[in-house]
Amino acid sequence: MMWSWSYVQEILPTLLRGLLVTVEATVLGYALALVLGLAIAVLRHSAGRVTGQVLRWAVEFVRSTPLLVQLFFLFYVLPGFGITLGALATGVIGLGVHYATYTSEVYRSGIESVPRGQWEAATALSLPSRRVWTGVVLPQAVPKVIPALGNYVIAMFKDTPLLLGITVLEMLGSAYKAGSESYRMLEPVTLVGLLFVAVSVLAGLLVRRLERRYGN
């Protein structure tokens, strides 16, 4: 099969629209993962022993099951219980919850790196719990883990092709659809690979900058 530049020009707009969907799913899923992961980390540290153990096992369960299985459960099983979500919304939630279990561990390491004396000083001053977290702990913990958190946005971006399994026409889904209609897979799949590389490299450069800024 010979490479066809005319076919590339024909399908490129479709693939770029798929790229926008991919980026949208990544950005929204990553935002959810950051917020939910922080909530899990704070609750595991400050809640009671029972709540902490429940959250720990929930995190381990999610991390131990494949993301594709979780997406299938959300999209194909939950409607049987009366919970129906759109394909993209399901993908965002699936990505966000899955990666929240990883970001929560990153946050937890940052929280545990805060010197014990800081906690004791806050207790001695009788600061309310909310003030301890927002004014003492998190301002010290979060900057330390920003580089590690940045790595997960790249991993999530590369996991978005799994959304094809729940009918989201992201970049790979758009390529597969175009290739199926024309019976040509060389150009669409190659272009998808190149677009993934280009975006991942740019994101990687940003993460390296974050590492240089916050890694010390």
Model pTM above 0.85: yes
Structure confidence at residue 14 as a pLDDT band (50, 70, 90): very high
Which whole number is the average pLDDT over 56-68?
94
**Domains, the chain, ranges and CATH?**
20-171 (1.10.3720.10)
Q: Phi and psi dihedrals of 113, rounded to 5?
A: -80, -10
For tokens 């702990």, name the residue: 137
Highest mean pLDDT among 51-55, 105-109, 111-115, 126-130: 105-109
Q: Please report the pLDDT score of residue 98 as a whole number.
A: 97
| Cβ neighbours of 133 (radius 10 Å) | 19
How far, in Å, CA of 113 to CA of 210, rounded? 19
Mind listing the pLDDT tens digit for each residue in 186-213?
999 999 999 999 999 998 888 888 777 7
Q: Average pLDDT, stretch 85-109?
A: 95
> pLDDT per residue over 15-40, tens digit each?
999 999 999 999 999 999 999 999 99
Percentage of residues of the chain with pLDDT beyond 70:
98
